[in-house]
Structure 1
Amino acid sequence: MEHGLIHIYCGDGKGKTTACLGLSIRCAGHGNKVLFVQFLKSRPTGELNSLKLFKNIEVMRGKETAKFTFQMTDEEKKEVLQEHELLFDKVIERISEEKFDLLVLDEVIGACNTGVFNEDRLVDFLKNKQHTLEVVLSGRNPDKRLVEMADYVSEVCKRKHPKDRGIPARVGIEK
């Protein structure tokens, strides 16, 4: 990329990660290199199987967790914070070793909002990122600082969802 911009996909609707994936596939389809990083997500999903088909998309994730952050004790959240800090250290290392065109930080906003990633560290990274690196952030309720830094902010709004009728996440659609 000549000039890397910052994107945010936010909102309470289904589709933020799907948008991240779509942009990643578009970017890779043009021969660009993508680093796709997931915070707060560690369970197996169909999209990970698909991304393995692309030679120029690399995926990084944290260790699998058995609980959602709202179910975690303070000690468990502290462990996840440490895991995410190590994950981000690896991200910094990878983008310094190799030229990536697109960096996706899927659900990093949620990680910041729940205290399992340091938002100041994210802001500092964005302020000092490589000029050519395109960066995508996703998650609900981005902080005003992130919104102001972003070049694109797209909100996915839930108007209706099957979970409201008690229909659980389905393989191939929601997971």
Structure 2
Amino acid sequence: MKKGYIHVYTGNGKGKTTASLGISLRAVCAGKKVFFGQFAKGMDYSELNAVKYLPNFKICQFGRDVFISDMPCNEDIVLAKDGLEISSEALSSGKYDMVVLDEINIAIYYKLFKVEEVLQILDNRCPKVEVILTGRYANKEIIDKADLVTEMKEIKHYYKKNVPARIGIEF
């Protein structure tokens, strides 16, 4: 690719991470290298096993093993800032064709770092890198920067019928 574009997958509906995993699979199957960074996530998700099956796919988590439910703690901030530094390197190194920053919009929303820091690493990326930014509450500046924005809208969800998260579907 000569020029990489910036995608944003946001909204309150299910499927943002799933969509970013799908485009990552497509990229790897086309012989491309993908870096997949998960912000505010440290839980044992099934996608962590992808590295066993997919050459050229690297995944890193930059969060604790719990969701941020109210106010982030200092550990959340430290992990996110470390993740932003690692992601900046992945974006600028030229080693990857695609970089996914999963839940980065949540990290901005919870003020784990500033939107300006994210915009800066996007500006400093290797121009051929395709970038996917996911998470609810996408900041207006992120949306303005993006070339493609998709909003996942919840119409109906089985969580409301107390269906628990299932391995291989939700995690």
Bin for the TM-score computed over the shorter chain: over 0.9
Contact 2:5 2:147 survives alignment (8 Å): yes
Q: Which residue of structure 1 aligns with residue 50 of structure 2? A: 50
Counterparts of 1:115 and 1:95 in 2: how far apart (Å)?
Answer: 21
Encode CA deviations 1:32-64: one digit per residue, 9 max, x unaligned. Answer: 110000001111111221343111001111253
- Per-residue deviation at 1:79? 2.1
Instruction: Give the TM-score normalised by the residue count of structure 2.
Output: 0.92
Give the aligned residue type for 2:151: E
Residue of 140, 151, 157 corresponding to 2:153: 157
SS at the partner of 1:105? strand
Aligned pairs for 1:34-49 (under 5 A) are 34-49=34-49
Give the aligned residue type for 1:2: K
Q: Which residue of structure 1 aligns with residue 14 of structure 2? A: 14
Give the aligned residue type for 1:22: G
Counterparts of 1:25 and 1:62 in 2: how far apart (Å)?
Answer: 21
Encode CA deviations 1:133-165: one digit per residue, 9 max, x unaligned. Answer: 111000112111111110110111110111112
Give the aligned residue type for 1:103: V
Give the aligned residue type for 1:30: A
Counterparts of 2:86 and 2:12 in 1: how far apart (Å)?
Answer: 29
Q: Which residue of structure 2 aligns with residue 69 of structure 1? A: 68
Tell me if 1:80 matches 2:96: no
Counterparts of 2:159 and 2:142 in 1: how far apart (Å)?
Answer: 29
Contact 2:9 2:16 survives alignment (8 Å): yes
The percentage of aligned residue pairs carrying the same residue is 36
Counterparts of 2:133 and 2:91 in 1: how far apart (Å)?
Answer: 16
Aligned pairs for 1:81-120 (under 5 A) are 81-97=77-93, 99-120=95-116
Which is worse superposed, 38-47 or 86-95? 86-95
Aligned Cα root-mean-square deviation (Å): 1.6
Count the aligned residue pairs.
Answer: 171
Contact 1:108 1:117 survives alignment (8 Å): no
Encode CA deviations 1:62-103: one digit per residue, 9 max, x unaligned. Answer: 25333x22244x5x1x32111111122122334455521000
Contact 2:5 2:131 survives alignment (8 Å): yes
SS at the partner of 1:103? strand
Question: Deviating runs (4+, > 6 A) in structure 1?
Answer: none
Q: Which residue of structure 1 aligns with residue 127 of structure 2? A: 131
Q: Which residue of structure 2 aligns with residue 24 of structure 1? A: 24
Counterparts of 1:94 and 1:23 in 2: how far apart (Å)?
Answer: 17
